[in-house]
Structure 1
Amino acid sequence: MIIHPERIVVAGVSGSGKTTLAARISALTGVAHTEIDALFHGPDWTPRPEFVDDVRALVAEDSWVTEWQYDSARPILAQQADLLVWLDLPFWWTTFPRLFRRAVRRRLRREVLWNGNVEPPLRTVFTERLHVLRWAVVTRAKYMESVPALETTHPDLAVVRLRSQREVDRWLARLRQTPSAPQ
Structure 2
Amino acid sequence: MEVWDLFDENRIPLGRTESRAAPVKKGEYHIVVVACVVNSKNQILLTLRDRNKVKYPGTWENTGGALQAGESSREAAVRELFEETGIKVAQDDLTMLDSQKEEYAFIDFYIVKKDVPLEEIVLQKGETTDARWVTFREMLEMGRCGEIAPPIYRRMRTLAPKLIKFLGIRKVSESRKIIILGCSGSGKSTLAAKLGKQLSLPVVYLDALSWDAGWKRKPFEEFDRLAEAEIRKEEWIIDGNFPRTVEHRMDECDTVIYLDFKRWFCILSVLKRVIKNYGKPRESMNPGCPEKFDPSFLKRIWNFDRRSKAHYYGYMETLSDTKLIVLKSRREVGRFLEKVEKEGRFVEGNYKKQKKK
Question: TM-score when scaled to structure 2?
Answer: 0.45
Whether 1:52 aligns to 2:224 is: yes
Residues 152-172 of structure 1: per-residue CA shift (max 9 Å, x gap): 332222210111111111111
- Residue 149 (structure 1) aligned to one of 303, 311, 314: 314
Tell whether the 8 Å contact from 2:196 to 2:237 is kept in structure 1 after alignment: yes
Quote the residue 2:233 is aligned against.
61
Structure 2, unmatched stretches of 5+, are 1-170, 347-357
- Residue 289 (structure 2) aligned to one of 117, 124, 134: 117
State the one-letter code of the partner of 1:137: W
- Residue 250 (structure 2) aligned to one of 63, 78, 95: 78
Residues 136-159 of structure 1: per-residue CA shift (max 9 Å, x gap): 112244443022211233222221
Quote the residue 1:139 is aligned against.
304
- Residue 262 (structure 2) aligned to one of 83, 90, 93: 90
Q: Secondary structure at the match of 2:317?
A: helix
Larger RCO (CA under 8 A, 6+ residues apart): 1
Tell whether the 8 Å contact from 1:3 to 1:178 is kept in structure 2 after alignment: no
State the one-letter code of the partner of 1:111: K
Tell whether the 8 Å contact from 2:203 to 2:239 is kept in structure 1 after alignment: no
- Residue 205 (structure 2) aligned to one of 10, 19, 35: 35
- Residue 178 (structure 1) aligned to one of 326, 336, 343: 343
Pair member with larger Rg: 2
Whether 1:5 aligns to 2:175 is: yes
State the one-letter code of the partner of 2:209: L
Alignment length, in residue pairs? 171
Whether 1:100 aligns to 2:265 is: no
Compared CA separation, residues 66 and 2, structure 1 to 2 (3 A): farther
Q: Secondary structure at the match of 2:276?
A: helix
Compared CA separation, residues 143 and 176, structure 1 to 2 (3 A): farther
Q: Secondary structure at the match of 2:198?
A: helix
Structure 1, unmatched stretches of 5+, are 126-130
Q: Distance in 2 between matches of 1:2 and 1:141?
A: 34
Quote the residue 1:128 is aligned against.
none
- Post-superposition offset of 1:21: 0.5
Tell whether the 8 Å contact from 2:185 to 2:267 is kept in structure 1 after alignment: yes
- Post-superposition offset of 1:2: 5.0
Identity of aligned residues (%): 22
Residues 57-87 of structure 1: per-residue CA shift (max 9 Å, x gap): 1111110001141122212211211111111
Q: Secondary structure at the match of 1:61?
A: coil
Tell whether the 8 Å contact from 2:263 to 2:301 is kept in structure 1 after alignment: no
Q: Distance in 1 between matches of 2:303 and 2:261?
A: 16
State the one-letter code of the partner of 2:267: F
Quote the residue 2:73 is aligned against.
none
Tell whether the 8 Å contact from 2:207 to 2:240 is kept in structure 1 after alignment: no
Tell whether the 8 Å contact from 2:176 to 2:345 is kept in structure 1 after alignment: no
Higher strand fraction: Structure 1 or Structure 2? 2
Question: TM-score when scaled to structure 1?
Answer: 0.84
Tell whether the 8 Å contact from 1:41 to 1:115 is kept in structure 2 after alignment: no
Compared CA separation, residues 11 and 19, structure 1 to 2 (3 A): same
Q: Secondary structure at the match of 1:9?
A: strand
Q: Distance in 1 between matches of 2:305 and 2:280?
A: 25
Q: Distance in 2 between matches of 1:32 and 1:75?
A: 21
Quote the residue 2:185 is aligned against.
15
Tell whether the 8 Å contact from 1:38 to 1:115 is kept in structure 2 after alignment: no
